[in-house]
Structure 1
Amino acid sequence: MKPEKTHVRRCAVLGSPIGHSLSPVLHRAAYAELGVPWRYDAFEVDEEGLAGFLDGLDPSWRGLSLTMPLKRAVIPLCDEVAEPARMVGAVNTVLLAAGRRTGTNTDVPGVIEALRERGVTTVREVLLVGVGATASSALAAAAAMDATRVWALARDPARAENLRRLAADLGVDLRVVAWGDAAADLPAGLDLAVSTVPDSAAASVAAEVARRAEVVFDALYDPWPTRLAEAAGQAGRVVLGGLDLLVHQAALQVEQMTGKTPVPVAAMRAAGEQALLSRAG
């Protein structure tokens, strides 16, 4: 009897630019620990090339991780969009099975799990630095953790309309503050601040944010520490970084794509930390 032919299952991360992504490092570390002989790659794909890439996938594919600028562009290309992706209008995960594409979002539960790991399970008053897709995920996570009032610091308040609609749907009191008004309009005693903007942008408000928030979560991970993380550390705050988020959202992706549990979060984090050290060196 001939041995049964096996087919390597495939997953990948898509985005543009994509060279910086740690997703291959994290997912491959999980596969190694789980004993899953799968393949995970990275592909440079922009909005114009996304539909063609998806149409070219064969049945060996099981899942895709999506980064910017694809989290919203992929939505009309999915057969189904599950919660919380539908709610926040951002898909960072596409599950491929039986010829169907299901879009979902692991950023929202990833934020929650990263905070829970640090002992933060409930927040009331939250600051978002930025108003883009990642800020929407952070707002949904804050609402799930019982936040009732959220301030959003915006370089262009007119771009906060998606965030305003989401806050209304979630029953959260959202107050948008212009960047230049941070010192005057942001309150003290915030439970959490989540920054979703580049280091160069956050630098101008780093001291104000660190002075006001008990926990500071910067979604960046390379380079690290950011100027916001340094300011928060000097102020004695609890500091989380983008690697915390990336590891937890990737762990959820691994579980959804492979169906395997428990996912080896510690091994994924160690692989990510080693990769960042290698880059720095």
Structure 2
Amino acid sequence: MTAGQRRPERRAAVLGSPIAHSLSPVLHRAAYQALGLDGWSYDRFEIDEDTLPGFLGDLPEGDWAGLSLTMPLKRAVIPLLDEISETAASVEAVNTVVFTDDGRRTGDNTDIPGMLAALRERGVEKVDRAAVLGAGATASSALAALSRICTGPVTAYVRSEARAAEMRQWGERLAVEVATADWADAAFAFSAPLVVATTPAGTTDALAASVPDLPGTLFDVLYEPWPTRLAAAWADRGGAVVGGLDLLVHQAVLQVERMTGHTPAPLEAMRQAGERALRGRTAEG
């Protein structure tokens, strides 16, 4: 720190690998600006499972307010924390660490309530059945969210029996009625009133041609590139679409509130900052 620089009042950051394209700094910094937290800073660090313990151990006590975590750290961080919330424990995933005034490290998961908030914003509060495309870590968070709003079965479309077994186990753990089906039949998912796509970029492109007229709601967790072919086809056929930026913003809102103590966090300012950043990336591309 050079002479004349103001020492940050509190620090926060996002950790993960890879992390270079994370939008979290854009969202959190926009929140700090809107809240008038001029002394707060938010950075990004390339950290994996091997370097995480050393990074946490070297943090100066009292300087740091919290951390956002992305893959592959959401599970690896758990043994390094003093406590985690019930929400985080339900899916064995922590995406938020808050440092308390007494020096404790507490873990939470804002992905699950962020999903619910994003759906609620689009008018989806209850469904009688749903479908999930994919079976990774995001799919388990989707099941946790669906456990709170879906009154009937959830069908997970997966590529292997091992993945199917994992989803059924998550269903039992989360008290969700989970049926599994082969990925080759994924187009049948589109009859459900809510479809959650949790797969990597490009995976659902071939399904775009199978979207029916007037489908229900699609929650596609990707935000870049956007729209995905599936999301574009869904909107073209009159369906409601919730995107990955919606999820990212809503979970970041909850992180800001937990780390700063300021409630409510500035949702619209954060959303607009995220949209500007994505437009800028598209223009550069």
> Which band: TM-score by shorter chain?
over 0.9
> Partner of 1:41 in structure 2?
43
Residue identity in the other structure for 1:111: M
> Partner of 1:174 in structure 2?
178
Quickly say closer, same or farther: Cα 1:104–1:24, change in 2 above 3 A. same
Q: Does the alignment pair 1:254 with 2:271?
A: no
Alpha-carbon deviations, 1:104-124, whole Å to 9, x = none? 100000000001111111122
Deviation at 1:94, TM superposition (A): 0.9
1:196-215 maps to which residues of 2 (within 5 A)?
Answer: 196-208=198-210, 213-215=215-217
Match 1:102 to one of 102, 106, 115: 106
Quickly say closer, same or farther: Cα 1:220–1:57, change in 2 above 3 A. same
Alpha-carbon deviations, 1:41-74, whole Å to 9, x = none? 0111111111111111112111111111111111
Task: Write the distance in 2 (CA, Å) between the matches of 1:124 and 1:74.
Answer: 35
Residue identity in the other structure for 1:245: L
1:142-157 maps to which residues of 2 (within 5 A)?
Answer: 142-157=146-161
Residue identity in the other structure for 1:105: N
List gaps (5 residues or longer) in structure 2: 1-5
Task: Write the distance in 2 (CA, Å) between the matches of 1:149 and 1:102.
Answer: 33
Deviation at 1:6, TM superposition (A): 7.0
Deviation at 1:142, TM superposition (A): 0.9
> Partner of 2:95 in structure 1?
92
Partner SS for 2:127: coil
Q: Does the alignment pair 1:76 with 2:79?
A: yes
Task: Write the distance in 2 (CA, Å) between the matches of 1:209 and 1:45.
Answer: 39
Alpha-carbon deviations, 1:239-264, whole Å to 9, x = none? 11100000000000000011001211
Quickly say closer, same or farther: Cα 1:257–1:161, change in 2 above 3 A. farther
Task: Write the distance in 1 (CA, Å) between the matches of 2:212 and 2:259.
Answer: 37
Deviation at 1:88, TM superposition (A): 1.0
Are 1:126 and 1:147, in contact at CA under 8 Å, matched by a contact in 2? no
The number of equivalent residue pairs is: 275
Task: Write the distance in 2 (CA, Å) between the matches of 1:19 and 1:210.
Answer: 37
Are 2:211 and 2:237, in contact at CA under 8 Å, matched by a contact in 1? no
> Partner of 2:128 in structure 1?
124
Are 1:190 and 1:212, in contact at CA under 8 Å, matched by a contact in 2? no
Deviation at 1:40, TM superposition (A): 0.4
Are 1:199 and 1:227, in contact at CA under 8 Å, matched by a contact in 2? no
1:258-277 maps to which residues of 2 (within 5 A)?
Answer: 258-277=260-279
Percent of residue pairs bearing the same amino acid type: 56
Deviation at 1:156, TM superposition (A): 2.6
TM-score, normalised to structure 2, is 0.91
Alpha-carbon deviations, 1:21-51, whole Å to 9, x = none? 1000000000001111211001111111111
Deviation at 1:160, TM superposition (A): 4.1
TM-score, normalised to structure 1, is 0.92
List gaps (5 residues or longer) in structure 1: none
Task: Write the distance in 1 (CA, Å) between the matches of 2:214 and 2:136.
Answer: 22
